Amino acid sequence: MGSILVFGASGQLGQCLAHVAQERNIPGIVFPPEAQANILDVSGLQALFAEHKPAYCINCAAYTAVDKAEDELELARKINRDGVENLARLCGEHSTTLIQISTDFVFAGTGNTPLVETDAAEPISVYGLTKLEGEQVIPAHTSQFFILRTSWLYSEYANNFVKTMLRLGQDRDEMRVIWDQTGTPCYAIDLAGCILTIIESQSQQYGIYHYSNEGITSWYDFATAIFELSGTLVKTVPIRTAEYPTKATRPAYSVMDKTKAKTVLGVAIPHWRTSLAVCIGRLG
């Protein structure tokens, strides 16, 4: 099958890939340290590709500070667009399949029906714009790519909404949480499983896919479920987005349709509450 190079190995999804790869006993998966795997360092990337001759390159590296990005367009663009282009160019030169992680933030989120891969991408934040630009630079360099758009990512690793709610819930009796943003959480362990299934099946059904867990929820209902499933006694109070202003505008509705991933890639996708219960069980 050839080796698998993972960029962004120390991040949330990188750690989940390491966990699932070990569970599945997948050989040849390489997690180079950040110092050797800077996606902006072309000569360093060339050395890694020459050494490992990867069949697959998984890019989990990204600028993900959504609000800070509003003030750091150039840095966000360097990482989310230029870094992706560096990898895509090398993947094309080495006949390596690129698996790029993208986001629901490429959409404006003004609709009310689940988004399919061919829906117009109209980002309303710098983060969303630079992630979309990262998607757009790939096809000029390689036709062997999978772009996986995901949303509301969480796990037992790194910083995320679930761990933040559980931490804050230890000290508070009440939490005010936004109820008018609708989407679907994604357990990063499940996304890692999807990525590795693509590789194990040696699929050549290249293109853009949507992947999150099944179902639809709001941040308010997500938080309520976190406290309920963990046995944390916290009252959740629904608030509107306008009551919690942030620098970057978030999509109001970013539920993604996963039909293509299920039918073409053959992946099974659990409901978000099922996966949340698994994660909380592991955190407990």
pTM over 0.85: yes
Closest CA relative to residue 194, chosen from 221, 213, 216:
213
The whole-number pLDDT of residue 2 equals: 78
Dihedral sign for Cα atoms in the order 121, 123, 128, 134? positive
Asked if 169 and 175 touch (Cβ cutoff 8 Å), the reply is yes
Asked if 115 and 104 touch (Cβ cutoff 8 Å), the reply is yes
Three-state secondary structure call for residue 95? coil
Dihedral sign for Cα atoms in the order 162, 163, 168, 171? positive
For residue 283, give both structure tokens.
């955190």
- As to burial, measured by CB atoms within 10 angstroms (0-12 exposed, 13-18 middle, 19+ buried), residue 176 is middle
Q: Is 224 left (phi over 0), alpha (psi -120 to 50) or beta?
A: alpha
For residue 197, give both structure tokens.
């299934």
154 has catalytic annotation: no
Considering the four listed CATH numbers 3.90.550.10, 3.60.15.10, 3.30.70.20, 3.40.50.720, the one that applies to the domain covering 4-159+185-214+254-270 is 3.40.50.720
Give the Cα-Cα-Cα angle 136, 84, 184 (nearest 5 degrees): 70
Helix (H) or strand (E) holding 146: strand 145-150
The whole-number pLDDT of residue 157 equals: 97
The whole-number pLDDT of residue 1 equals: 62
- As to burial, measured by CB atoms within 10 angstroms (0-12 exposed, 13-18 middle, 19+ buried), residue 120 is exposed
Asked if 41 and 67 touch (Cβ cutoff 8 Å), the reply is no
- pLDDT per residue, tens digit, the chain (284 aa), is 679 999 999 999 999 999 999 999 999 999 999 889 999 999 999 999 999 999 999 999 999 999 999 999 999 999 999 999 999 999 999 999 999 999 999 999 999 999 999 999 999 999 999 999 999 999 999 999 999 999 999 999 999 999 999 999 999 999 999 999 999 999 999 999 999 999 999 999 999 999 999 999 999 999 999 999 999 999 999 999 999 999 999 999 999 999 999 999 999 999 999 999 999 999 98
**Distance in Å from the first CA to the final CA of the chain:** 37
* Rounded-to-integer distance, Cα 136 and Cα 131, Å: 9
Q: Give me the catalytic one of 56, 63, 127, 157.
A: 127
- Domain boundaries along the sequence of the chain: 4-159+185-214+254-270
* Rounded-to-integer distance, Cα 128 and Cα 112, Å: 19
The whole-number pLDDT of residue 131 equals: 98
